[in-house]
Structure 1
Amino acid sequence: MTTQTTAPESADTPTTGAPTGLIGIPAHIGRALATAGGILTIISTFLAWTWTAEFPGDLTVYGYPGGLQVLVLIGGALTTLFGLASYGVKGLGWLTPAGADSALKLSALGAFATAWYTVIAISSKLGGVVNLEPGGYIAALATLTALVGALALPYDKPEPDPIDPDDSGWEHFRHNTRHNLSVVRAAIATGPTKAPARQLPAYAEILVIVAVMAIGLTVFTYGIGTEYDELFIGFLITAGFGFAAIAKAGLVGRISTITAKHRNITMIGAFVAAAAFPFTQSDDRYATIGVYILIFATVALGLNIVVGLAGLLDLGYVAFLGVGAYTAAMVSGSPSSPFDIHLPFWLSALLGAAVAMVFGVIIGAPTLRLRGDYLAIVTLGFGEIFRITVLNTDGTSGPDITNGSNGISSVPNLNILGFDFGAEHNMLGVTIGRFSNYFLLMLLITLIVVVVFRRSADSRIGRAWVAIREDETAAEAMGINGFRVKLIAFALGATLAGLAGTVQAHVTYTVTPEQYQFAHVVPPNSAFLLAAVVLGGMGTISGPLVGAALLYLIPAKLQFLGDYQLFAFGLALVLLMRFRPEGLIPNRRRQLEFHEEAEPPTVLSKAGA
């Protein structure tokens, strides 16, 4: 007697059987409700939501979405797109390789959350729901209908994870082997499956990369340029659920596979898109945030060598940023400097990086024989020793070197080959201000750090770092000199942080000890730097860059919360670590460590006489 397995019903095929999902209605009715709700949500954004322009964004105009309506429009468009894809509409299958149902639930939830947040904000600010126009009511009902319909859909089994562009060739081989085995198992268990998506030609894949970069620039520019608090909160809701939806659909994995095939084009495209950011700004206000994000991201990427690749927990890393900043400030002609020296920038940058490297070696040599929590405590102590030292070298408690709590002020603007970074310049018909100039310079520094990280990670020493991180005892048994390898990681990470610090000194004009504490509200500091690496994804290039951008942008935009700012920020981190502990853009190895249950189970058939 043979037990035969029955093929489960596909999540992308309309069903007429028993109710599934959280809502007790048939799945095909739920799919229709979700799609219709998405279409009606789009229509509602072209109607007036309130009668007065006192609510920011002017939601009184018919035929032209504004403010939060634009975000609801995006949520409705995603819901409609995934709803049509779940019906198997031709041409949309490429966008949902992992199935559309789970993505439809998340997009519907995002549209619902943004629309209802807007309705509640209007009612609260203007004094009741009586201030709503028909468009507001229609949007609330439409998004609720879409959410109810989406919750009726069945839950899909997780798909195998995509290729990580930061993995080595061996990891790609392991991924392909495991993926092929999972496909064979699924075919045995469920019968025939859909044919794989047709591969795009090379030029089409490059166009996809260009489109992704353009969308990324648009999203970042929109988020950094939100003019009022309600719009930024709505942006966070829409962006969060939108990214989760396209990731659940498998589109992020498909794009990751494409970018892995064209790594150089992807890196060039990313930096071209970032370089275009200052040209999208009408003033220098948001470029200010942009240059600080780049400083924060560059230092986080340097820390990623220490933490992500070598597995060393460093809680005093921001001190190396301070070493580079103080060194550059002392030799750049500041009147507060005890040294009457004015070196050119390239020389001060090399000097700041070199001094930071020396400090890294001095601190690392006696401490890197420690492991785990002991090493973390020692590095935390180093960070505090640096801050207290520069605070006390004021001529009273110690020698007059750093001017104590007043710091080194009036650091002059850079002038490289006659280009004054403190003056406005006209480029391509656009006026570029001071912070835009420094943004472009810091972008060049970030490119250097990315190249160093990438080349180091792919080298022999990079593989030794990974081996030390995974199991130091086993690595040393295989002949790796653990102390030397860790010291190189520590020194290289310190060098990159010092290099970023040389630019920070000129951007901020003044270098003071309180800028380099372990934890305070304004990043960069050691706690936020470590959080950026963990949040973005340890061991990757893009992870810390994205994590640092979020960790700097969100606190800067949540200042209206006052005393509750850190509470809201901490709650968001707790939720993210709960639902995505491997980070936003994880290394595949770490993703498997946290989501081993995602591997499709083996289905065995019993045979008997």
Structure 2
Amino acid sequence: MTDTTTAQAPAQESGLVPLPTATARALILIGAVGTIASTFMSWTWTDEFPGDLTVYGYPAGLQIIALVAGLFTLLHGLALQGVKPLRFLNPAGATSPVFLMTLSGFTVCWFTAIAIAVDLGGLANLDPGAYVAMVASAIPVVGALALPGTTLKDYITKSDQPRPTRLGPLAERLVLTAGTTIALIVFTYGIGIDDEDSETFIGYLLLIIFAVWSATHAGLLDRYADIGRRHKGFAAGLAFLAAAIFPFTQSDDHNANLGVSILIFATVALGLNIVVGLTGLLDLGYVAFLGVGAYAAALVSGSEFSRFSGVQFPFWAAALTGMAASLVFGVLIGAPTLRLRGDYLAIVTLGFGEIFRIAVNNMDGSSGPNITNGPNGISQIPDLEIFGFNLGVPHDIGSFTLGRFANYLFLMLFVTAIVVLVFTRAADSRIGRAWIAIREDETAATAMGINGFRVKLIAFALGASLAGLAGTVMAHVNYSVNPQPYKFADAVPPNSAFLLAAVVLGGMGTVSGPLLGASLLYLIPEKLQFLQNYSLLAFGLALVLLMRFRPEGIIANRRRQLEFHETGQLDIPEQQSLPEGTIGAAKATKAGA
């Protein structure tokens, strides 16, 4: 046994690049320092490239992103050297987190150099700092490839991490506070990148992807999620506090407008998550319920183009009207169709979504009754006024001026909190357990006494009413409603395809999953303007990759994660003879564990 271990030791210490481990660790540190130093040099001679990378001693644009990547690589390198305060970054000293982190700086620096050459017309436009960045960022990759690993798969495959010891309640709350602060900084920086500066946003995405990938392999995200589950209320409060602070970090009200749109999109996706994620019903026309709520609120909000122009409900009444209209349509559509299953139900809901769009397009007084003003829609919807507070007027709070969209952002935070509360309470209730039973096996659930039709109808109606609530706010934010946005698939969200993708991408059956998925699907097309004509292709490819490598979504529900990643059988040597009953006892022990 000792001889076998000794013989295998050199193989475990070898890497793809034949260098001693000490040299490999030194290369990681040297390359990280070089990458950081290069960001204080000029990368190009002209300021025509976004971000103005011409200044010595002052990083800007993609240089800041490369600086952060180099700093993270340096921290991982110091953790490998045994610096105690940094051991939490990689407790097991695994190879894959370090390698993935080195790729962040490498991809950002090389992408920047290539982008400069392509945009400005040749390598002659690169200053010495760009060449230093390219060479320096490649050195840590070489060093990481010299760390233990026999194939390239070893460098991108998650390895086992030691189970962390629990921290005290105060320390865990501090960790949650730090994590929320970092998330706010990252989101604020990303949303603040100019819409025309697609190169900087691509570099930002590259850094985020590899940093999150590395943190996942190091077990940091799993540990953070465990802490969040033990302090759900505190974590949720921090998330809403961070969202409330966001408007005070922005000087441009356009970014607050993006925040409002993301929250509307995310809230509707969370309502769809009740239908798809909890109940397992494939709804391809869900965006129609958003439209029903928006049109119902627009009709009673005092617009001169409304069929009922003399009627102006207060916000709470308009919101209840939108919710009630969507609820009624949810029941009317669900009652005759929810006895269908699978693809048949999907086809019927897809048809409902198209029927709604065509119907409101024809209700113009000539092709049909004069209710929705046809393709022109209902415009000039007045801003909301709540308790004498006009959301359309900028307001000063101390030295900060909150514009119109910042005001609506706070309103949407309140609406999102209501939807999150309804979702969590419903999911943890008796009806929520019935939804999950229907999703897992409707036949078995019915055999156990669950009224499948009634349970599914409740889910359909509740999801529709939540979408109607979000539609009420959307109508006032956009000043108008028209049939154009309510398609099954379009280059611009929200539409049914993007809503479904947000749920699947983020993680079905979770609260934070659809919120994250909706944020990504709305923000990325907004910042990468050149992809708008290919957005459907891009998000289709993203879904294919997601289904291949992480079918449970970015933020996985534990039940679904176990379904998609079965642990397999016991590792018992085939040729080893075991006493009778040993295998059964071993399996029983494993099941109990």
TM-score (norm 1): 0.89
| 1:264-323 deviation line (CA, Å, top 9, x unaligned) | 000000000001111111021111111000000000000000000000000000000001
Choose which of 186, 211, 234 in structure 2 pairs with 1:242.
211
Deviations 1:361-415 (A, max 9, x none): 1111111111000000010011111111111111111110111111111111001
Kindly indicate whether residue 213 of structure 2 is the aligned counterpart of residue 219 of structure 1.
no
Which deviates more, 303-312 or 557-566?
Answer: 557-566
Amino acid at match of 1:373: D
Correspondence for 2:506:
536
Give the letter for the 2:553 counterpart.
Answer: G
In the TM superposition, what is the alpha-carbon distance from 1:107 to its structure 2 partner?
1.1
Aligned to 1:32: 26
Q: Which residue of 1 aligns with 2:584?
A: none
Indicate which of 300, 321, 324 corresponds to 2:293.
Answer: 324
Q: 1:487 aligns with which of 452, 457, 471?
A: 457
Larger RCO (CA under 8 A, 6+ residues apart): 1
Partner of 1:509: helix, strand, or coil?
A: coil
User: Following TM superposition, by how much is the alpha carbon of 1:608 offset from its aligned partner in structure 2, in angstroms?
Assistant: 9.2
Q: Does 1:207 align with 2:159?
A: no
* Separation in structure 2 between the aligned mates of residue 4 and residue 367 of structure 1, nearest angstrom: 68
Q: Which residue of 2 aligns with 1:64?
A: 58
Q: What is the distance in 2 between the residues matched to 1:145 and 1:159? A: 24
Q: Distance in 1 between matches of 2:20 and 2:570?
A: 27
| Inter-partner Cα distance in structure 2 for 1:257 and 1:600 | 26
Structure 1 residues 151 and 159: CA distance shift in structure 2, 3 A: closer
Q: Report the alpha carbon displacement of residue 219 of structure 1 after superposing the two structures with TM.
A: 0.9
Alignment partner of 1:232 out of 201, 219, 225: 201
Number of the residue aligned with 1:404: 374
Closer/same/farther in 2, CA of residues 465 and 261 from structure 1, 3 Å limit: same
Counterpart-to-counterpart distance in 1, 2:292 and 2:4:
65
Deviates more, 1:578-587 or 1:234-243: 578-587
What letter corresponds to residue 434 of structure 1 in structure 2?
A: R
- Name the CA distance, whole Å, in 2 between partners of 1:28 and 1:314: 56
Which residue, out of 223, 240, 243, partners 1:254? 223
Secondary structure of 1:50's aligned partner:
coil
Distance 1:262 1:284, change over 3 A: same
Higher deviation after alignment, 22-31 or 344-353: 22-31
Q: Which moved more, 1:44-53 or 1:266-275?
A: 44-53
- 2:70 corresponds in structure 1 to 76
Q: Which range moves more in the overlay, 90-99 or 348-357?
A: 90-99
How far does the alpha carbon of each residue in 1:449-498 deviate from its partner, in whole angstroms, 9 at most, with x for none?
00110111111111111111011111111111111111111011001000
CA distance in 2, matches of 1:562, 1:325: 25
What does the per-residue CA deviation read over 1:161-203, in whole Å, with 9 as the maximum and x for residues that have no partner? 9xxxxxxxxxxxxxxxxxxxxxxxxxxxxxxxx7x54432211
Relative to structure 2, which stretch is displaced further, 536-545 or 552-561? 552-561
State how far apart, in whole Å, the 1-side matches of 2:385 and 2:16 are. 63
Mark the runs of 5 or more structure 1 residues left unpaired by the alignment.
Answer: 10-14, 162-193
* Residue 545 (str. 1) matches residue 512 (str. 2): no
Give the CA RMSD over aligned residues: 2.3
Residue 289 (1) aligns with residue 258 (2): yes
Report the CA distance shift for 1:607/1:33 in structure 2 as closer, same or farther (over 3 A). Answer: farther
Go from structure 1 to structure 2 and tell me whether the alpha carbon gap of 1:565 and 1:316 turns closer, same or farther (over 3 Å shift).
closer
Which stretch has the larger CA shift, 93-102 or 272-281?
Answer: 93-102
Query: CA 1:586–1:4 in structure 2 vs 1: closer, same or farther (change >3 Å)?
Result: farther
Cα deviation for residue 24 of structure 1 reads 4.3
- After superposition, the Cα gap between the structure-2 partners of 1:5 and 1:524, relative to the gap in structure 1 and judged at 3 Å, is farther
Indicate the SS of the match to 2:503: helix
Q: From 290, 299, 323, give the equivalent of 1:353.
A: 323
Q: Give the share of equivalent positions with the same residue, in percent.
A: 62
Q: Which amino acid aligns with 1:46?
A: F
Is residue 147 of structure 2 the alignment partner of residue 134 of structure 1?
no
* 1:16 positional shift: 6.4
- Pick aligned residue for 1:120 from 114, 124, 129: 114
Aligned to 2:342: 372
Query: Which is further off, 509-518 or 557-566?
Result: 557-566
SS at match of 1:91: helix
CA contact (8 A) 2:198 2:529 kept: no
**Is 2:553 aligned against 1:583?**
yes
- Could you tell me whether the CA contact under 8 Å between 1:98 and 1:250 is conserved in 2? no
Change (3 A) 1:4 1:528: farther
Aligned residues of 1:537 and 1:544 also touching (Cα < 8 A): yes
Q: 1:594 aligns with which of 564, 570, 589?
A: 564
For 1:452 and 1:299, the matched residues in 2 are separated by 13
**Any idea what the Cα deviations from partners look like across 1:532-556, whole Å, max 9, x if unmatched?**
0000000000000000000001111
Q: Secondary structure at the match of 1:426?
A: strand
Structure 1 residues 98, 332: CA separation in 2 closer, same or farther (over 3 Å shift)? farther
**Structure 2 counterpart SS, 1:585:** coil
Q: Are positions 1:55 and 2:25 aligned together? A: no
Amino acid at match of 1:291: V
* Deviation larger for 133-142 or 309-318: 133-142
Is contact 1:298-1:545 (8 Å) kept? Answer: yes
Q: 1:356 to 1:144 in 2, by over 3 A?
A: same
1:335 and 2:304 correspond: yes
Range with greater deviation from structure 2 (54-63 or 510-519):
54-63
Unaligned runs of 5+ in 2: 580-593
Q: Secondary structure at the match of 2:30?
A: helix
Distance 1:600 1:444, change over 3 A: farther
Separation in structure 2 between the aligned mates of residue 65 and residue 400 of structure 1, nearest angstrom: 59
**Matched residue count:** 569
The superposition leaves residues 26-59 of structure 1 with CA deviations (integer Å, 9 ceiling, x where unpaired) of 5543333233222221222122222332222122
Mapped contact 1:19–1:152 kept (Cα < 8 A): no
Structure 2 SS opposite 1:431: strand
> Given that residues 110 and 242 in structure 1 are in contact (C-alpha distance below 8 angstroms), is that contact kept between their aligned partners in structure 2?
yes
Q: Does the 8 Å contact 1:158/1:600 carry over to 2?
A: no
Partner of 1:560: 530
Counterpart amino acid of residue 446 in structure 1: T
For 1:405 and 1:430, the matched residues in 2 are separated by 40
Secondary structure of 2:401's counterpart equals strand
